[in-house]
Every structure is written in C-alpha cells, then in structure tokens.
C-alpha cells in the first residue's frame, strides 16, 4: 500500500457539492492499494500513520504523533499513487483492482488505533481542500 500523508490545519472532501468528510488539525491521508496487498499491510500502514511523529512538541521539534496531539485523519482513496510514469502517459497497472476492501480496512484500523477518521467516497469524483501545515508531506510505501 502507498500513502501520501499531509499534515493539515484542516481538510475536507466534497462530492456532488456535498461535504462527505472534514477534519480540523491532523492528517490528510491519500491511500492506494497496490497489487498483492493484504489486510496485514493495511493494518501496518494504519499503525505507521497513527504513530508517525510529524507534529511539533513544545520545543518546536517534530516529535509528536497524531495520537499524541488528539488529531483526526481524512482518508481519501487515491489510485493514481500507483502511477508508473516512465512514459508521458501514466499507467496504473500496479494498482489493486478497484475494490473497497483494503481502503476500508485501512480506515478501520486507523480508527481502531484511536484516531478519529473521516472519509472520502471510494471511486467518486472528489474535490479535496486542505490547509497544509508546514508544509509537511510524507510518502509511505509498504514495499520499502
């Protein structure tokens, strides 16, 4: 699985002019299931996101996690994170088939870790808005 994690002051996702999910301070997590990914990888990635220390402590150092600050996560399915960009037209053959299972498993595991989770709508044409904090953007890949 792949995730692009952005530290945000706020974020929201809108589908058909209606907000489907929104958060205050926390993380916007764009997540992509890849070929051969498993439930165990979704659990591992959720734990990594929940415990990733990218929020500032009192000394101004990135030393606190989403759990430490009591922040939320907005999780949005993003199959284009699987893009192969060798040519000028991206290919997406490494993405898992368009199924909700691993996306939902990841969201559920993140919530089970104690993180309040809001979601986009799987497979929908979404408009994502965010106020990036820092900016801090981190790439996570279970293959690495």
- Angle, to 10 degrees, between the axis of helix 101-112 and the axis of helix 39-51? 40
Cβ-contact 8, 134 below 8 angstroms: no
pTM recorded for the entire structure: 0.94
Mean pLDDT value of segment 129-138: 96
Domains in the chain (CATH in brackets) are: 2-141 (3.50.80.10)
Query: Does 78 participate in catalysis according to the annotation?
Result: yes
Residue tagged active-site, from 9, 80, 92, 137: 80
State both tokens at 104. Answer: 């939902």
For residue 130, what are the β-bridge partners? 11
- Kindly report the backbone phi and psi dihedral angles of residue 35, in degrees, each rounded to the nearest multiple of 5, phi listed first: -50, 140
Query: Does 55 participate in catalysis according to the annotation?
Result: no
Residue tagged active-site, from 79, 106, 122, 137: 79
- The per-residue b/e assignment along 60-89, b for 16 or more CB within 10 angstroms, e otherwise, is eeeebbbbeeebbbbbbbbbebbeeeeeee
Query: Which tens digits make up the pLDDT trace of 79-127?
Result: 999 999 998 999 998 888 888 799 999 999 999 999 999 999 998 999 9
State both tokens at 140. Answer: 């996570």
Query: Does 80 participate in catalysis according to the annotation?
Result: yes
Residue tagged active-site, from 6, 14, 78, 106: 78
Residues 113, 68: Cα–Cα separation, whole Å? 12
């Amino acid at each position: 699985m792949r995730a692009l994690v952005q530290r945000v002051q706020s974020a929201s996702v809108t589908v058909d002019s209606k907000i489907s999910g929104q958060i205050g301070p926390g993380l916007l997590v764009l997540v992509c299931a890849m070929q051969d990914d498993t439930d165990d990888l979704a659990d591992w990635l959720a734990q990594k996101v929940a415990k990733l220390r990218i929020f500032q402590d009192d000394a101004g150092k990135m030393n606190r996690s989403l759990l430490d600050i009591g922040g939320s996560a907005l999780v949005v399915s993003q199959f284009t994170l699987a893009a192969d960009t060798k040519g000028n037209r991206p290919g997406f053959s490494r993405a898992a088939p368009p199924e909700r299972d691993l996306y939902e498993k990841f969201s559920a595991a993140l919530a089970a870790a104690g993180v309040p989770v809001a979601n986009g709508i799987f497979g929908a044409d979404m408009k994502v808005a965010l106020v990036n904090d820092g900016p801090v953007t981190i790439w996570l890949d279970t293959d690495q």
